[in-house]
Amino acid sequence: MPDEPPEFRPVLLEDLEIRWPGFRIRRVALNQHMPRVERFGEHVHDCYQVLLYLRGRGLQHFGGSSVPVGRGSLLVIPPEQAHRFEKSAGLRPVCLVIDFESDQPLLWRSTSMTGRDLARVERWLVALHQLGPVRSTPGEQAIPVASLLLRLMNLVRGYVTQTPNAAIRPGPIEQSVRGVIEATGLTANLVPSAVAASMGRTLDHLNRQLRAEAGLTVGGAIHRARRERCEDLLRRTDLLIGEVGAAVGFDDQNYFARWFRKQTGQTPKRWREVMLAPRAG
């Protein structure tokens, strides 16, 4: 695998020998895309890569496709698959990278991770960082490092395989908030305080509970529900952009476009163009 360019700042663990039947983790890095990242261009690796975006937005180009990515995007890049990241305006992206080998070809899908499990990943990364950046796992660090990485890989596997994983189901507070959002509908009147009132809680109390369980606020849950509904309508219907916005509570098309771009890094029109573009293979 080629050396990483100076536009990336890898941390955590390299030269790993963590194995389980059919797999071997080679490297775990937390990459921050630096200002000159796009100069790196298209590149390949000789192993599988899992990319989990923790911050920032952009486009990941691979396999003849351009996939919008943002916080929670989880991509699987096969060996020798050329790919390239294109940053959107805003925060500098931070991406968790797991390099691993597999004895058999994998048909793992790209998907997105929920806020609850993103919070778990971030806690594990803090724990790994506290163990100290090393190139392998010798001595007393071997067991705790291997334990954390296997838990991380098991969580990722639950998302990228076609088999549902009970570990990624939302908790009771998140389920309740989702239920209220779905029952109320994505109207202009759907605000965090109304969700909290429907559940018989103050907004501060509900936010604390939801943040502890899922790593997001009630407002974040509403934004996510609106974004997911918008993406579904843009992908599966021929509705005009203004009609999509109206369907999720935005009467002003320009405001809707700005909101959608803030959520995804792309305008609704551009997002639809990318998602509906012909894909290789």
User: What pLDDT digit, counting tens, does each position of 155-170 carry?
Assistant: 888 888 855 444 446 7
Q: What does the alpha-carbon distance between residue 203 and residue 208 come to, in Å, rounded to a whole number?
A: 9
In the DSSP assignment, the letter for residue 43 is B
In the DSSP assignment, the letter for residue 201 is S
pLDDT at 137 over 70: no
- Give the CATH number of domain 18-168; options: 2.60.40.10, 2.60.120.10, 3.40.47.10, 3.30.70.3420: 2.60.120.10
Q: Which amino acid is at 98?
A: I
Binning the chain into helix, strand and coil, the percentages to the nearest 5 are 45, 20, 35
Instruction: Single out the residue of 142, 102, 146 nearest to residue 124, CA to CA.
Output: 146
Q: Are 49 and 2 in contact (CB under 8 A)?
A: no
Domain 172-276: which CATH class?
Answer: mainly alpha
Q: Residue 205, SS3?
A: helix
Give me the residue spans of the domains in the chain: 18-168, 172-276
Residue with tokens 């890898």: 10
pLDDT in tens, 194-251: 999 999 999 999 999 988 877 778 998 999 899 889 988 988 899 999 999 999 999 9
**4 pLDDT tier (thresholds 50, 70, 90):** very low
Q: What does the alpha-carbon distance between residue 96 and residue 72 come to, in Å, rounded to a whole number?
A: 10
Q: Residue 41, SS3?
A: coil
Beta-carbon contacts of 232 under 8 Å, excluding residues fewer than 6 positions away, are none
What pTM does this model have?
0.56
pLDDT score, position 277: 57
Q: What does the alpha-carbon distance between residue 185 and residue 225 come to, in Å, rounded to a whole number?
A: 10
**123 pLDDT tier (thresholds 50, 70, 90):** confident
pLDDT average, residue stretch 6-31: 71
Beta strands (DSSP E) in 17-151 are 18-20, 23-32, 48-55, 58-62, 65-69, 73-77, 83-87, 94-102, 111-112
